[in-house]
């Protein structure tokens, strides 16, 4: 009756997972991708960004090592070498994604696809009929419309800069902004962060936000809160950004990290009857189904949690629901996340404010300490940890951390929260000494 059982538009993490699993369940599947397999995460997101974070951390290691008895000779950094090696790894991952699809007999179409109607997809001059359509087109960086805005870059271009800047302005206070501030600083640039709010990382626990701001301040990253860029001008050497208070910042590069919007334009969605919200995101139900019964959407083109593992879970759930007789919805409760700032953030569960609003009476445990490593290095860096607990049931509602290996530590604690662990069970767990993570099972004093 149809050419395909499932036609996926978009080859990112969610689209690839759904397509691969649907094919394993016996469906005939095609996937159209006009840019690159792996989507944002693999190509201009989490993977290359984490590689750049690793590179930027060496400057701290070099600075700290002498107190541990090491003597270093002359050292230098080559941006072109880093980017070339990064590109090689991303190309390898592109191949991994392609192989995962082809090994499962998913047809890959390297072109832009549009939806002609609820069961028809057009790719170039070809029309394909399909039982189900899955939209997994991700998101794209947005920049404000200001004079000289064309002189700025976004994180997409930051991964391919021909030269490394000696001075950088990062505009925005989300994941991307604080992470690139650390990357640029660690690789040797003088960095200024401009953010329109009172504090960056809106939605995170307030103590975490304050702790990270303090740590970034000790690294001499200039933080300008409650400010916006009014205009940008090109200089004979570099650029000048004028802020809304009249202050001027000069740099070699300005990067906007001011948000992303769903990539849903020019797909034919609205003509097919698919409802979009005011930002252009596909409106879906708990099963990722749109307003059109056979058109589904997952990942950043929907208005849910914009995290790669979440998109993968959504794609898996769609495949299970449609082709495995197992109606499934993703679980969005207690999804852990990390910000690879310097130092990094890890968090899972409710913030203190969210817990107070939902549960009323809560207990809060906080700890701030200088890691053992820095008692020798002399670095003025502190780790911060926090537990939020429901007073009535003793269940741990939130775990939050700023400090070395925060993401690795919080991943383990996310399992505990998923199992509805209590503070008493945390307390009964013997810690690994000496580690930073043991602080989560030794905090006794409420604050």
User: What CATH number did the domain enclosing 83 receive?
Assistant: 3.50.50.60
pLDDT-derived band of residue 240, with 50, 70 and 90 as boundaries? very high
CA distances from 413 to 237, 328, 410, 440 (A): 49, 25, 5, 9
Residue 115 lies in a domain: yes
Neighbours of 203 (CB within 10 A): 9
Q: Has 195 been annotated as catalytic? A: no
In this structure, the answer to whether residues 89 and 213 fall within a common structural domain is: no
Q: Dump strand ranges (E) for 48-196.
A: 107-109, 113-117, 120-123, 126-135, 139-141, 153-154, 167-171, 190-195
Q: What is the pLDDT of residues 40-84, one digit of tens each?
A: 999 999 999 999 999 999 999 999 999 999 999 999 999 999 999
Same domain, 135 and 12: yes
Of 29, 154, 37, 42, nearest in space to 87 by CA = 42
The answer to whether residues 39 and 137 belong to one domain is yes
Given 185, 374, 382, 433, the catalytic residue = 433
Where does residue 159 rank: exposed (0-12), middle (13-18), buried (19+ CB within 10 A)? middle
Here the CATH number for the domain that contains residue 377 is 3.30.390.30
Give the chain's domain count.
3
Helices (H), 27-78: 39-44, 46-65
User: Of all residues in the chain, what percent carry a pLDDT higher than 90?
Assistant: 99
Range of the domain at 64: 4-141+261-323
Model pLDDT for residues 103-154, shown as the tens digit of each residue: 999 999 999 999 999 999 999 999 999 999 999 999 999 999 999 999 999 9
Statement to judge: residues 134 and 243 lie in one domain: no
Are β-strands 229-234 and 222-225 bridged in parallel, bridged antiparallel, or unpaired? unpaired
Determine the pLDDT at residue 366.
98
The C-alpha atoms of residue 418 and residue 273 are separated, in whole angstroms, by 38
What would the pLDDT profile of 245-293 be if each residue is shown by its tens digit? 999 999 999 999 999 999 999 999 999 999 999 999 999 999 999 999 9
Question: CA-to-CA distance for 396 and 401, rounded, in angstroms?
Answer: 14
Please list the residues that pair with 297 across neighbouring strands.
Answer: 135
């Amino acid at each position: 009756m149809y050419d395909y059982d499932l036609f996926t538009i978009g080859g990112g993490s969610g689209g690839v997972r759904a397509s691969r699993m649907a094919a394993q369940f016996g469906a005939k599947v095609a996937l159209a991708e006009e840019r690159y397999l792996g989507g944002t995460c693999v190509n201009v997101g989490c993977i290359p960004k984490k590689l750049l974070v690793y590179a930027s951390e060496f400057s701290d290691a070099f600075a700290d090592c002498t107190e541990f008895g090491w003597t270093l000779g002359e050292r230098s950094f080559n941006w072109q070498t880093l980017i070339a090696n990064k590109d090689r790894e991303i190309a390898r991952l592109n191949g991994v994604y392609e192989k995962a699809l082809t090994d499962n007999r998913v047809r890959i179409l390297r072109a832009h696809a549009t939806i002609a109607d609820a069961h028809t997809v057009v790719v170039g001059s070809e029309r394909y009929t399909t039982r189900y359509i899955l939209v997994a087109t991700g998101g794209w960086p947005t920049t404000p419309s200001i004079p000289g805005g064309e002189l700025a870059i976004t994180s997409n271009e930051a991964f391919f800069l021909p030269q490394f800047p000696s001075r950088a302005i990062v505009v925005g206070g989300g994941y991307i902004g604080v992470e690139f501030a650390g990357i640029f600083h660690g690789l040797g640039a003088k960095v200024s962060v401009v953010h329109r709010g009172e504090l960056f990382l809106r939605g995170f626990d307030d103590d975490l936000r304050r702790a990270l701001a303090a740590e970034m301040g000790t690294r001499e990253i200039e933080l300008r809160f409650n400010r916006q860029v009014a205009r940008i001008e090109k200089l004979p050497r570099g650029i000048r950004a004028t802020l809304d208070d009249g202050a001027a910042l000069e740099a070699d590069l300005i990067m906007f990290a001011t948000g992303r919007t769903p990539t849903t334009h020019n797909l034919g969605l609205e003509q097919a009857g698919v409802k979009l919200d005011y930002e252009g995101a596909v409106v879906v139900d708990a099963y990722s189904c749109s307003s059109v019964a056979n058109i589904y959407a997952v990942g950043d083109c929907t208005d849910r949690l914009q995290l790669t593992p979440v998109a993968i879970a959504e794609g898996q759930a769609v495949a299970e629901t449609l082709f495995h007789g197992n109606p499934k919805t993703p679980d969005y409760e207690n999804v852990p996340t990390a910000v690879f700032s310097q130092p990094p953030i890890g968090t899972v569960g409710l913030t203190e404010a969210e817990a107070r609003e939902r549960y009323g009476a809560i207990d809060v445990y906080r700890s701030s300490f200088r890691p053992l490593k820095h008692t020798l290095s002399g670095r003025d860096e502190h780790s911060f940890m926090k537990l939020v607990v429901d007073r009535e049931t003793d269940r741990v509602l939130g775990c939050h951390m700023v400090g070395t290996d925060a993401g690795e530590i919080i991943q383990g604690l996310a399992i505990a929260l998923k199992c509805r662990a209590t503070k008493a069970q945390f307390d009964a767990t013997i810690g690994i000494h000496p580690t930073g993570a043991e602080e989560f099972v030794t905090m006794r004093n409420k604050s």
